[in-house]
Amino acid sequence: MGNSNKYVTLLSNTVVFAIGNVLVKVISFFLMPLYTAVLTTEQYGVSELLNSAIEIILPIGTLCVIEALYRFSIEKNANYKAIFANSIRIVLYGDIVVLLVCVLLKHIFNYGYAFSFFFLYLATTFYKLVTQFSRGLGHVKRYALYGVINSLVLVLSNILLLVWMNGGVRAYLASFTIGYGVSGIVAFFASKEYRYISLTYKDKKLRNEMIRYSAPNIPNMLSWWINNISDRYIIMFFWGAGLTGLYTAASKLPAMINLFSAIFQQAWQYSTAKEIENIDRQVFFNKVFKIYSFGCLMACSALLFLNRVVCKILLKDNFYNAWRFVPILILAATLGCYSTFFGTFYNALKKNFVLMLSTLIGAGINIILNFVLIPVYGGIGAAVATVISYVIITTLRIVDVTKRIGPIADYKRLLVQFSLLFVITYITTATESIISYLLGVLCLFIIIALDYDTLKYSVKIMRQKFKR
């Protein structure tokens, strides 16, 4: 693959994976006015806590084998039948365990949303299983189509169940369940994955290899959940569902930064796996990092300055008070993008234990800071704890990846840019005066000036892509 083709392929895959995997999150973001109009802050807080709980149950229930399903599928001479059979078997065992837990919650603790949660979990695992296998099979355009179908069904389900039927929390969960379920069924048949089903087919050696790869991802994904979601449960404990709803709503705008990272990460995962052994990998990784970093910094700066405006559009009535949490959460999300970028190298090297270790350290510090800061400072305390934990995770990964691969960034320049970003975050959180915004704009121009060469190179790559 030629040098220029590497970047064009990365860009092409980024666009496709954006459509395929992240569109549903973009749609749910733009459905915020609907959610905040038809749900109370308490209802929205409960709904999002249940939806987010999938992120902690899924890695345990599936042993993160879905991650291994994709990684092993893109290997040369991959045995698709064995890979898919092993993955299905593990996921089915997890589904049974989650069902039994939900039955206990319903009949012993009389928890009203137990079965709504189970069906959402079932649909989510099925969708992720079949779409990641489709991606591993090389059905890139179909993968994108499945994401579009998921998003369209989600919108229609929300309109029908939330607006027309006014179904509340159960309708919110059911909308996502239907979206994942319908698009998963389409993916299963459109990619003809039934050809690879054989529940009696066993390959213990391959299964063990897949589990050795995926097992370290379990604490890693749980730690990710702690860094991003656990603070909402702690806020619920100390401050109640009302503030939890506000904080959850505030997290939707920073989630757009995470979307940028998630869009890129899947394409980057493929590229790092292919390029990790190449002799000229250093040049490739360095150029990609510059472009990625520039995009993250620009997205962060734009959202910081548009915070109040966007919040007025998306957050209705009492939800608007959530604006004050947003700037710090945007900064945390941006740091999370950098931790994700460097974390992908561990997937390529199949060194997920180190990935897990850095995330565990950050998560442990996050939990401690949450219990220290949230009782006193509420949502602001939770946001600050998240920023500190991501600073630690990102620093640990940069140091370790540099030892393993070599330097792939100008870290002094990056430190200056992030120092300026901290200033902008403080300004947009603390005051609305014109002078403060002018200072913020000055910081932004300095950030852009430091990466002006990257901006020009990005434009060049875009032109190469769209000339084809």
H helix or E strand, kind and range, residue 67: helix 65-73
Distance CA(1)–CA(278), nearest Å, equals 11
Helices (H) and strands (E) in the chain, counts: 22, 0
Among 5-19, 36-50, 401-415, the minimum mean pLDDT is found in 5-19
Q: If you ran DSSP here, which 8-state letter would residue 200 be given?
A: T
Question: How large is the average pLDDT for residues 3-26?
Answer: 64
1 pLDDT more than 50 = no
For 352-409, write each residue's pLDDT tens digit: 777 788 888 988 999 999 999 999 998 899 999 999 999 999 999 999 988 888 888 7
258 exposure class (CB count in 10 Å sphere: 0-12, 13-18, 19+): buried
Distance CA(439)–CA(424), nearest Å, equals 8
Distance CA(117)–CA(270), nearest Å, equals 32
Residue 31 or residue 211, greater confidence: 211
Predicted TM-score (pTM) of this structure: 0.69
Residues 6+ apart with CB under 8 A from 21: 131, 143, 147, 262, 263, 266
Q: Is 121:180 a contact under the CB 8 Å cutoff?
A: no
Averaging pLDDT over each range in 33-42, 208-217, 378-387, 409-418, which range is the top one? 378-387
Ordered DSSP codes for 309-341: HHHHHHS-GGGGGGGGGHHHHHHHHHHHHHHHH
Output the pLDDT for position 189: 95
Among 28-32, 75-79, 147-151, 299-303, the minimum mean pLDDT is found in 28-32
Q: What is the mean pLDDT of the chain?
A: 81
Distance CA(465)–CA(461), nearest Å, equals 6
Output the pLDDT for position 422: 86
Among 151-155, 260-264, 340-344, the minimum mean pLDDT is found in 260-264
Q: Is 140 helix (H, G, I), strand (E, B) or coil?
A: helix
* CA 191 to chain CA centroid, nearest Å: 25
φ, ψ of residue 258 to 5 degrees: the values are -60, -35
92 pLDDT more than 90 = yes
Residue 310 one-letter amino acid: V
Distance CA(136)–CA(142), nearest Å, equals 12
Question: How large is the average pLDDT for residues 299-307?
Answer: 79
Output the pLDDT for position 151: 84
Output the pLDDT for position 97: 95
User: What residue spans define the domains of the chain?
Assistant: 31-63+65-214, 227-468
Question: How large is the average pLDDT for residues 200-214?
Answer: 83
Task: Place 125 in a pLDDT band, splitting at 50, 70 and 90.
Answer: very high
For 421-450, write each residue's pLDDT tens digit: 888 888 777 766 666 566 667 767 777 777
34 pLDDT more than 60 = yes
E strands present in 38-165: none
Question: How large is the average pLDDT for residues 328-339?
Answer: 90
Residues 6+ apart with CB under 8 A from 124: 54, 58, 176, 180
Distance CA(252)–CA(240), nearest Å, equals 19
Output the pLDDT for position 370: 93
Among 182-186, 217-221, 418-422, the minimum mean pLDDT is found in 217-221
Distance CA(286)–CA(454), nearest Å, equals 11
Distance CA(104)–CA(112), nearest Å, equals 12
468 pLDDT more than 90 = no
Question: How large is the average pLDDT for residues 80-91?
Answer: 91
Q: Is 381:368 a contact under the CB 8 Å cutoff?
A: no
Distance CA(431)–CA(205), nearest Å, equals 60
For 171-196, write each residue's pLDDT tens digit: 889 999 999 999 999 999 999 998 98
For 226-247, write each residue's pLDDT tens digit: 777 778 888 888 888 778 778 8
Distance CA(214)–CA(353), nearest Å, equals 10
% of the chain exceeding 90 in pLDDT: 20
Q: Is 225:56 a contact under the CB 8 Å cutoff?
A: yes
% of the chain exceeding 70 in pLDDT: 86
φ, ψ of residue 262 to 5 degrees: the values are -65, -40
Q: If you ran DSSP here, which 8-state letter would residue 167 be given?
A: -
Output the pLDDT for position 437: 66
